[in-house]
Structure formats: structure tokens, C-alpha cells
Structure 1
Amino acid sequence: MARHPEYQYLDIVENVLTKGDKRIDRTGVGTLAAFGAMMRFDMSDGTFPVYTTKRVFWKTAVKEMLWFISGQTNIRSLLQENVRIWTDWPLEKYRKATGQQISQEDFEARIVNDEQFALEWGDLGPVYGKQWRRWVGPDGREYDQIATVIETLRTNPTSRRMLFHAWNVADLDRMALNPCHNFYQFFVSGMGLETDQGEPLRPKLSLMVGTRSNDLGLGNPFNVCQQAALLAMVAQQVDMVPNELIWVGGDVHLYLNHLELAETILKREPRPFPKLRLTRRPESIDGYKIEDFEVTGYDPHPAIAAPVAV
């Protein structure tokens, strides 16, 4: 029997937990860290790689990906969808700037209810979505990297230049958080293949994501899930079959206040991954909504709460 693919993740967690380099990091929380990791997830049969050794709130992860794709950088639209994962950074900035120890709930309520306040305090700077969809060149023109990738997949699918990224050096100091998952490259296989009856087979689309820095406890489960969702969306848009999601990590780490989380999931046995079906095909990559994602068969172990390091 094939080994459950989630063990790839658990092996990385165990390696970092037992052999990781202890260090003080940017947040001051401290980490155990290792360098260089890879995982491969086969999605060709509809499998949706959502980890099962703790519940992953996959809808929240996919909503974040849809927000990235939209090109937005303000947390107001996320909060309107009840996604709170980006609040910590602007909240910390507001508290430092004003001296007010406002609660997260009150801050979020002001962002949602006061558009002017949201414009002033809810923007994260030129983070992921801005670079993916509206990268500004030296000539002042905006470049839509995702639209270019999709067009290339349709017109020149054997290209080695089907990628987008967010590491815009000139904009890094204006971002609330430098890009962690910062390199996305697509690869098409099976061009021109036919069935035994001579009918054309749809090509297969794979995606490799390069991640310079990855929080294994909280970030990685979210990232893998939402990157799988992105592969499914792009494949549907270009009439291909989602094939492999390949995740590559640089600095992979466990925060020192996530060690109990790591120990807990290592004691749990993975359960079958769920299946994903897109219920409709929008006219463009911009048209997807969370309601389009039908996930079946997800039966994870219980969720584990853990703090975010800011």
C-alpha cells in the first residue's frame, strides 16, 4: 500500500523538531529551522491535499487565494468574508502609531464599518496580489503576471517561462510582510496524447511553488491547500487536468510556541485526503467564488489552536 502523502509533511516537521537549528527570528519568538525541503502531491484523480492530522480551515485558505488573485491588498474585503489571518500586521502598526491598545475585534469592526479608516489602516502595502496582477514596471506600465501565464498556457504550453512571483525588490520595504511563497512555475505534460480509440487526451498541468520561508505549524497547511486550489482553477481555465502540486521550501521552521502542536500531529495517523470538484467554469480566473469549490470526504483530526508570530 502506498504511503500516505501527508507523511511528507510530517517527516519535515519531525526533522525540524528533532534536528532543527535553534535561533532567534525576526518576530522574537524563536524557531527551530532547517533548510531545503520538497513535497509532491498528485491531484490527477481529484485529490485535494488538505492535511488531516489537524483540521485545516480550507475555505479560509481558498478565500485568501481568491483575494490574492483579485489583486487587492486591503484586509477590509477579507474581513467581510470573515477571514482574519492578515489582521495582526496592520493592528500592530496601528497600536504602535497611536499608542491605543485597541482589541483585535474592535479594530476589525472599524475596518469593516469605516471605509476611510480601512483605507488608512487596513492596507498591507504592495503584497502578493499587487505584484501578481499589477506589477509596475520602470516605465509606469502595470503587468498582469497571472493573465500572461494563462495566455502562454493556451498558446505556447511547452514554454519554460510560465511563472509569476512577488519578490519585487523595489517594493519590499513597503510590504507588511515580505513574500513567503514567492515563486510559482507551471509545467504542461502529455501534449498530443490520445486514447486507444484515437480521441485526444487533455494535457496535464503541474505547479511548483518556491517558498523562501515557511511556518510549518500554521502557514504550510494553508499554503499547500490554497496552492492546490490555484492549480485546479488555472487547469480548468486552460482545459487541462490538474496533475502535480510540487512544494519547495527554503527556510522551513517551527516557532518555539508551536512545538506542542508539532508533537501532537506527529502522534496522529493521516486520514484520506478529500476530493475537490469545481462546480462551474467562470469566464476568467477572476470569476471564482468560494461557492465554486465542492470538497467531499474531509474527515480530519481535531483543530489545534496556535498563536501567529508577527
Structure 2
Amino acid sequence: MSDSARHQEWQYLDLMRHIWEHGDERMDRTGVGTRSVFGTMLRFDLSDDRVPLLTTKRVYWKAAAREMLWFLTGETNIRPLLRQGVRIWSDWPLKKYRQATGEDISQDDFEARIVEDAAFARNWGDLGPVYGKQWVNWPTYEYGPDGKYQKSPGINQVAQVVESLRTNPGSRRHIIEGWNVAELDRMALPPCHKTYQFHVAGEGADARLNCLLYQRSCDVALGLPFNLFGAALLSRMMAAQTDLQPGELVWSGGDTHLYLNHTELVEAQLEREPAGAPRLELTRRPDTIFDYRFEDFQVLDYDPQGALKAAVAV
């Protein structure tokens, strides 16, 4: 079968198999242990509404879409996510709360308190200056009129990239960066999908927007399926806002790994074969990229095989 006819998802499965069979087995920050390789790449065509949604297991794309919209607000508290039923960020503040208080609270009860009690959410639901905070409000400092060094309005990287794509498409500086060295220690988790770079190919009505995502650390079984959909969604929103056609999503991983406690998931998924061609439609173009709503996204023709679950390493 030619590369052009091969289902795009085989790239993901080939990567998973390679890591599982040949990865370097090592201990990691979580204490769980991984099999890891370094320096990987996947490429996905986003034209004609194609979207890299895995079909060999169900990917909860609605949660990934809500998370991406949450990033674009600059919000860092999990309360807005929990109010929409998105629980993917609860593990880190829950762990911090248990360690600080000694209370053996369940995840369900902790999340309910975050949703119901605004003061409790302020104290225990914030993740620090993660992702969206850096994307839309990167902190800057300057000397004030009194001669003292003071904080000034932050930089909205997303808005700047939209503007630069419109006015200077040939630039090599269309970058959204999440790795703020000065604030890493304040983050619940330093950014894994840390750098997005955009590239315009072609001219006129056929000009295409490509996106490269560099991920310093990647949990291939649980994290990467979310990351691929999120990056594709961000790329599609950027293309719509800049009158460009969707091009290619290039994903690049640094430490690319599978956790040792994900054996059942990995072995089950590697027994499956991809099928189908899910599509992502954006049904509305709002005034700015920050005005999209969840209802503006439709995923069509998505008929995945059954869900495969495993524990998140915190």
C-alpha cells in the first residue's frame, strides 16, 4: 500500500509499537516508570476537514475542545472546566490538597467542592500560570515613572500571531510559546505541548496554514490523542481567522514515552486497525479567535472502536 493510501493513524500505532518494543526503560518523575524514545515526528493532512482523531479507541474530543477554548481565555483555575464536566486537570490540585491538609477526600467530592464553593476553588483549584496564561498574558516588566521595576500589561502571543499571519505571512516568527522559565516553579505542571509554530505555504486563495507542535514530554497512550486533536483545532481556528486553507499538522516529540502501567491499553490498541475518516467542521467564524464557542465545532463520521482506559501518572 502506498504512503498516500495508508490510513494516517498507522503513524501513531507504529510509534506506539516502536516505543513498547524498543524504548529505553527508565524511572521518571512520577515513580511509575516508562519506556521512552527521543526525537519523534508525525504528520497529518488537515485539508478537506480531515482531523487526527484516533479510531482505534474513543478519544473524548469534546473535552479536548473545551480545554483548548479554556486555554484561549487565559484561565488557570479548573473550576470552569469542571462546570462543563471536564475532569482532566483535577489530579494535580487534588494531590496538592491531600498533601497539604491530610484529608483523604475523594476526587468526586473534591471536584464538587470546587464547583460549589468559589472560595475553595480560588484556594485549591488554581494550577498556577500554565498554558493559556502564557499564551495570552505572558508577563512583562518595565521601569515605572518612579524608577522602580514593575509589572506591565502582558503579551497576547495568540493575537500577535494572528496579526502577523495576516500582515506578514512569510515570517518565520509565528510562534506561541508556553515555556516561561521564570514561572515554571509556580506551575502545577510545566507545559508539555510547549511550542506552536505556524507556516504559510503558497499564495492567494490557495495559501495553506501549516502548524508544527513541539512537545517536550509526551504520554503517547493518554496524552497524545488529546494533543493531536487540540493542535488540529487550534490550527483550524487560526486558519479561519487568517483566511488561509488548512494545511499540515506536524507533531514533534522530545521524550516520547509509554508508562509501564499502561500495558493492557497498549497491547489492546496494537491489536486494532484504524478505519474511517472523521472530519472536523467549524460552523461559524467569530470576530476573533477568542470568541469561538464549543457549539461552533462539529465532528462528523467519527465511529471509533471502544474506549481504552488507564491511570494518569501524576
Counterparts of 1:118-267 in structure 2, within 5 Å, are: 118-139=121-142, 140-141=151-152, 142-192=154-204, 201-267=205-271
Q: Distance in 2 between matches of 1:167 and 1:96?
A: 26
Give, in angstroms, the shift of residue 218 of structure 1: 0.3
1:167 match: secondary structure: coil
1:132 match: secondary structure: helix
Q: What CA deviation, in whole Å up to 9, does each residue of 1:229-252 have, x standing for no partner?
A: 111111111111111010000100
- Equivalent position to 1:80, from 80, 83, 87: 83
Q: What CA deviation, in whole Å up to 9, does each residue of 1:167-223 have, x standing for no partner?
A: 00000000000110001000001114xxxxxxxx24110100000000001000000
Unaligned segments of structure 2, at least 5 residues:
143-150
Q: Distance in 1 between matches of 2:49 and 2:190?
A: 32
Structure 2 partner of 1:284: 288
Structure 2 partner of 1:69: 72
The answer as to 2:273 corresponding to 1:269 is yes
Mean Cα deviation higher: 129-138 or 207-216: 129-138
Give, in angstroms, the shift of residue 135 of structure 1: 0.4
Structure 1 partner of 2:21: 18
Give, in angstroms, the shift of residue 137 of structure 1: 1.6
| Letter aligned with residue 92 of structure 2 | W
Give, in angstroms, the shift of residue 294 of structure 1: 1.1
Please tell me whether the aligned partners of residues 135 and 144 of structure 1 are also in contact (alpha carbons under 8 angstroms): yes
Structure 2 partner of 1:198: none
1:45 match: secondary structure: helix
Q: Distance in 2 between matches of 1:203 and 1:239?
A: 9
Q: Distance in 2 between matches of 1:29 and 1:284?
A: 42
Q: Distance in 2 between matches of 1:221 and 1:45?
A: 20
Q: Distance in 2 between matches of 1:303 and 1:27?
A: 24
Unaligned segments of structure 1, at least 5 residues:
193-200
Give, in angstroms, the shift of residue 138 of structure 1: 3.0
| Letter aligned with residue 310 of structure 2 | A
Q: Distance in 2 between matches of 1:164 and 1:294?
A: 25
| Letter aligned with residue 98 of structure 1 | T
Please tell me whether the aligned partners of residues 152 and 162 of structure 1 are also in contact (alpha carbons under 8 angstroms): yes
Give, in angstroms, the shift of residue 276 of structure 1: 1.1
TM-score by length of 1: 0.96
Find runs of 4+ consecutive structure 1 residues off by over 3 angstroms.
none
TM-score by length of 2: 0.95
| Superposition RMSD in Å | 0.8
Identity level (%): 58
Q: Distance in 2 between matches of 1:107 and 1:125?
A: 18
Matched pairs, number: 302
| Letter aligned with residue 151 of structure 1 | E
Give, in angstroms, the shift of residue 295 of structure 1: 1.0
Give, in angstroms, the shift of residue 19 of structure 1: 0.5
Q: What CA deviation, in whole Å up to 9, does each residue of 1:229-287 have, x standing for no partner?
A: 11111111111111101000010000011122111111101012301111111111111
Q: Distance in 2 between matches of 1:273 and 1:168?
A: 37
Q: What CA deviation, in whole Å up to 9, does each residue of 1:8-35 have, x standing for no partner?
A: 1111100110001111110011111110
